[in-house]
Amino acid sequence: MSLPDPHRRYPVTLPDGSDHAGTVFLSQAIDHPGFEVGDYTYASDFDPPEDWASHLAPYLFPSSIERLRIGRFCQIAHGVRFITSSANHAMNGLTSFPFPVFDPKLMADYQPDTRDTVIGHDVWLGHNALILPGAQIGNGVIIGAGAVIRSVVPDYSIVAGNPGQVMRMRFAPQDILRLQRLEWWHWSASQIARAQTALLANDIDTLEGFAG
């Protein structure tokens, strides 16, 4: 099996030969200075927007200091939103009201929260998941539908709820270490294509054979 062309905006072809407009490779659909996304990462939406960057991360402005970094081979379901650091108000004063936002002379220098939001590789973000400022989501994580994520999420965990909590780990600790060493998401397209059967079958022994 071959991999889809990572340079296509619409990677899903319907049986009638037309493109499925509701699923895009984000690297081909987003041109935003604060949004970094790896190859093969896709987002799906039942009402696909014209501007995928502002749809997914509405508070990530071109002038924002923070970055939203998403790895390769991630899967982003309908309704997922990234609430990045530019959305936050200062909380160390007597009020949280953002007075500088309303003064053109002060607005450009006012950003009380500058933390990046980082999503690892091979992460599945379920329907309506909400990722809050500064979240750090590890590789191989599955985020359940409607979960609210605001902190560090360990590699290969399954997280659900509000606030998001680790329900269980996907694999045994020693197997997680093996997967982290393999970093299959950085392999060449031909290597990954040959390894698809092992990846889909949860066969780490066979997967290691494709690493050479």
- How many residues in the chain? 212
∠ CA 43-45-46, nearest 5°, is 160
| Amino acid found at 15 | P
Report which of 157, 165, 100 is spatially closest to residue 123, judged by C-alpha positions.
Answer: 157
DSSP letter string, 99-158: GGGG-HHHHTT--S----EEE-SS-EE-TT-EE-TT-EE-TT-EE-TT-EE-SEE-TTEE
> Is 20 among the residues known to form the active site?
no
∠ CA 153-159-162, nearest 5°, is 100
Please tell me which residue in 20, 32, 78, 89 is annotated as part of the active site.
Answer: 89
Q: Are strands 117-119 and 152-153 parallel, antiparallel or unpaired?
A: unpaired
Known catalytic residues?
89
